[in-house]
Structure 1
Amino acid sequence: MLLMFTAAPVVKACINPADSYAVEVVLNKPGIVYVPYPAFSALHNAIVENGTFIFRSHYDERLIVMLWNASDGPHLRVQVPVEWNETVLTKTTFNASLLITADALEKLKAIGWKKIDNLTFARNDVTIALKPVAGNECTSDRDCATGGCSGEVCAPRKEATEIITPCVYKPWYNCLSLTSCGCVNGLCTWKPNDAFEACLREHGVDPSKVIRAGYFELEVEAVNRSDGEVNAAVKDFLSAFGISCDVSLTLVKTSVTRLSPSLDPSEVSASKALKAELDWLIETGALRMDESDVEGVLRAAEWGNAGHNSHIGWYETENGTSAWIPYDESLNPLLVRCFTSEVPAYELPNGTAYVGPTLTKPPSEDSATTSGSAEGEVCGPGIVALLALLAAFARRR
């Protein structure tokens, strides 16, 4: 099966867009020992390209693992296969008043929207990003004050003293002790939080009637979706915020070439994928590494932490200590700014890599022989690794 993914980067490599779909660690902490041989003398279901071992993931065979030694230490990279594809992008933007509450987020989750970050959501190749549009009532909490007979209204300070409301105390006013009146995105409002919103609902009050909704610009991007599918997705998204009216959208379509992963990265865990390979290397004896260091690496493991600028390593932090962190978060990192779009293809054997029992010993300057069975044969998928090693040896000569 032919799988597309980036080649192993070197220390001074350029940024590759495929790094967004990979996680990579350099095992550069003093005390960590990487000795692939003699264990890898019997490595099967792997190929070797320019000194890099390449094989399928022990966590999910759809993922690719790359292992190589560089001047800064051994690198381990797990990659979601990618390829360049022609895609049709549909984009649109519009403004809407939305109150982002815990209820709204739960409704989005229930209808299949995944939270990419605090204000970005995706479902079925449709992504909606919320960009706050600041109001002009305030710039800080000092510009806001409470008004009304019971102090139940949050408004701009100049207006608050003039607000008159009936002097009838309502039970939900007790909820105001759980929040404060202040400036949120340019608007004076009772500040939203889970406890305050829950209290309002317990008293039968819709939080959107008390908390002033924020104003957002919604940026919509869809990949290979029809106009009808985009409109339906936007309508469904807005329904989670209690908006049922149809929005007139101006859709703009463009054809672009973009790097596409073979599977949704959210379906697989970068941390679990990296752990599977570290555990396997330790089990085979190719790697000696403390469990505490494994845990430290995994805490920093997420898709996108790969490549020269963002790979994980044992680096000095800004406070002078050392920790397993992405390189670009370390003290005075030397970041590269060049880019490459090269995505080589490799044909990998089916199944995950394993060690033994048949030997596939690589050639050396002293000996180019390979030990195998009693008849001197190399059986099964291990022949792939052997042929690659012989080819590499021939090039060196």
Structure 2
Amino acid sequence: VSRVLAFQFVRGTHSGVAGICQRLSGVRCLLHLTVFWLSLFYTLLEFDLGSQFLRELDRKLGEEQRPMMDRVTMLQEKVAQMSSEVTDTNPYSRLMALKRMGVVDNYEDIRMFTVAIIGVGGVGSVAAEMLTRCGIGKLILFDYDKVELANMNRLFFQPNQAGMHKVDAAAETLMFINPDVEIQVHKHNITTVDNFEHFMDLIRTGNLLGGPVELVLSCVDNFEARMAINTACNELNQVWMESGVSENAVSGHIQLVVPGKTACFACAPPLVVASNIDEKTLKREGVCAASLPTTMGIVAGFLVQNALKYLLKFGTVSHYLGYNALQDFFPTMQMKPNSQCDDSFCRLRQMEYQAQEAVKRAPEPVEKQKEEVVHEDNEWGICVVSETVEEGHDDECNVPGLASGLQLAYTVPKQQKVEDTEGATGNEQTLEELMAQMKSL
């Protein structure tokens, strides 16, 4: 009986455990489903909250950036006419102040000018940026070189522009700075025969009205390119300005070249490129010319300042201006053309200029001098003269090498002539003769 009872107990227990296990399996599945739906719910909830947060963040950023974007958009819109109105959104207000202060008669004329810049390197790129900020009408850029990381010690270009052509990188930056300026780029070497003819055509017909450009700026770093520019400008009778920086990066110069009137580059090449060094050797690995952004910025500033004075006709246009950073020396001079210049067009322009000057120097009709009035009662011929007698400076001031505008601080007293002294002593009496005359009295 006990065994039967034990067997029935075990079988009942097993059935109970099996039922419990079945019930537990159902609960486990239900728990898994509950966890899944809860996880999905929280995921969707977090996504919705995250989206709302992102939308709110985007809205706040948009509100903060909208004024700046509005200003950028306003700047990128072309300005129909320059205005002197002083506002935060007027890019020309401080430039137009030059007119209000009497420095420039009509600053608005700058938008009618076209300037060609050959060489968009350390000097040319900065000069192009300055002219763009000044509101020049049109820029024509020439350069076939590309931006390199080695150029980052200079101004204007950025590391992310490495590998781009310099003219393309410059045009991208300049058009963003001032969309009013028309930018035209050319990626070719002007020293080749075909490109030289194209270069001359652009100089001849490149301005806003299809005529010759108003000014050419040479910012190249080699002798061949300078001579090509010089030849083209002499043939076209085009005014241009030459610039350069020395190989030690501590001196530079600018030079105005007016064909026929001033020395061209073939007449008197500046010393900065007359060192007779083969510039091609500078391209060897590990060998290069030094460059300082300070010197290049100074030379570019001199160049653009001289260009603005020439275009807008204010101040004195420098014919030659040098810069020596070691001694803070700024030499200036005016170089006359060489009558025996190797460039035949330079000699032709000289003859044309001399003929024009001869016409200007034609003698003017001389006015009839007024007859001196003689009083009838002046029988003794007495005339009234000034009490102060002007000292003659003919002999004293004719000092060789004395610059114009200078005079001597004092004059050397004249020596008495020997014959005058002898004549004076001949009339004098001796002491014995005077004593004899006194005794006879």
Q: TM-score, normalised by structure 2?
A: 0.20
Q: TM-score, normalised by structure 1?
A: 0.21
Structure with higher strand content: 1
Structure with higher helix content: 2
Ranked by relative contact order (alpha carbons within 8 Å, sequence separation 6 or more), the top structure is 1
The structure having more radius of gyration, on CA atoms, is 2
